[in-house]
Amino acid sequence: MTTPVLFLLNHTRPLQKTLGVLGDLCRDRDLWSIQVWVCPDEELLRLVTPAGWEALTGHSVVSERELPKYLEQKPLAVLCQSWRKELASLLAHSGVPVLILGDELPPGLPPGSAALPEFDAMEILQRLEQLASPQDFAGKTVLVTAGPTAEDIDPVRFITNRSSGKMGVAIAWAAAMRGARVLLIHGPMTTEVPDLPNLERFPVRSAQQMHDAVRQHWQEAQVAVLCAAVADFRPDYYVPQKIKKIEGEGMVLHLERTPDILAELGAMPNHPFLVGFAAETDDVEINALNKLRRKHCDLLCANDIRKPGSGFAGDTNQITIYAPDGTVLALPMLSKQAAAYRILEEIAKRI
């Protein structure tokens, strides 16, 4: 489903800038499930014809006369390029949140309205996503672990795995959109972390560092989603100089176990609502149920990494959620963002 948003445009800013932001919004509209409608003022309509606006947005322009009728259809938000006093009463009574692309928020606008002094398309899209999300995690702190860990052998070599961190970042993002304060503890990963005021990042490198960061912060959280692909083994000895190869000789690497962060947290009295992940290649259900019980999780999300589209670095995932009461919820193949939303819905029902 896509949600309509309306952009009220006038010629108070350079046209190039207006078209730039609008172009970015329209380019990403499918990704963010929005439809962009515009209501340009007379002057802008002289500079760009209605057909031009329609080519850009995919929708015919909304005239000022049609505004009241359009607002009755309850778009997600009205974006105001600058405040227009003559529309104040109409917007105030519409119930539709208004995003002012400027410094000041006039009084009396519907709940959810905000001023966005820095208004690039990304900031606007984040606000829209927030408006579209239920605020069921407001007042809660959610701790998320994400990405791989790296276990150093010597200053140049290390052991790691294929985790991209995308699933964990998607969970962190979705929780932040639903109003949570998010503590994201992540290993070395290439996935970008969005810059959000309610998302704090704690970058770490090794399983031990991730363990220590979780220990430091878990008491602040009501929910912990441990998504990281923590290395199970690390070299039992770190060699501070680069290990030299010796002609004709191999090398034996001794590995020891890393701390199991999830199991340790599950064993704590009063632990947060605990969600574990299990990436499996065989006997997915048996392994998932085992992990759920053994690590005292409140939910366990399992995926079969042999299935196409369900692997480590991709953008999609097919997850089955197991609960201790025997509930099994098999989600379809979804984008990692959509899967994250579904997982949070299941958490919200239980906290």
By CB under 6 A, name the binding residues for ligand C5P.
145, 207, 226-228, 230, 232, 258, 260-262, 276-278, 291
Give least dist CB 316 to ligand C5P, A. Answer: 19
Candidates 320, 292, 324; CA nearest to 304 is: 320
Instruction: For residues 164 and 313, give the distance between their C-alpha atoms in angstroms, rounded to a whole number.
Output: 5
10 is annotated as an active-site residue: no
In the complex with ligand C5P, the residue whose CB is nearer, 131 or 227, is 227
In the complex with ligand C5P, the residue whose CB is nearer, 9 or 261, is 261
Give least dist CB 207 to ligand C5P, A. Answer: 6
In the complex with ligand C5P, the residue whose CB is nearer, 8 or 261, is 261
Query: 206 in helix, strand or coil?
Result: coil
In the complex with ligand C5P, the residue whose CB is nearer, 38 or 261, is 261
Give least dist CB 261 to ligand C5P, A. Answer: 3
Instruction: For residues 12 and 102, give the distance between their C-alpha atoms in angstroms, rounded to a whole number.
Output: 11
Catalytic residue among 10, 161, 198, 287: 161
Q: What is the dihedral of CA 107, 111, 115, 116, to 10 degrees?
A: 180
Radius of gyration for the alpha carbons in the chain, expressed in angstroms and rounded: 25
Measure Cα distances from 241 to 84, 150, 247, 271, 348 in Å: 66, 18, 18, 40, 49
Give least dist CB 304 to ligand C5P, A. Answer: 13
Would you state the structure tokens that stand for residue 285, as one six-digit string?
Answer: 């259900």
In the complex with ligand C5P, the residue whose CB is nearer, 140 or 295, is 295
Q: Beta-carbon neighbour count of residue 293 at 10 Å?
A: 12
Q: Are 276 and 300 in contact (CB under 8 A)?
A: yes
Q: Are 262 and 274 in contact (CB under 8 A)?
A: yes
Residue 114: which residues within 8 A CB-CB, separation 6 or more?
A: 97, 99, 100, 105, 127
Give least dist CB 241 to ligand C5P, A. Answer: 28
Which residues are identified as catalytic? 161
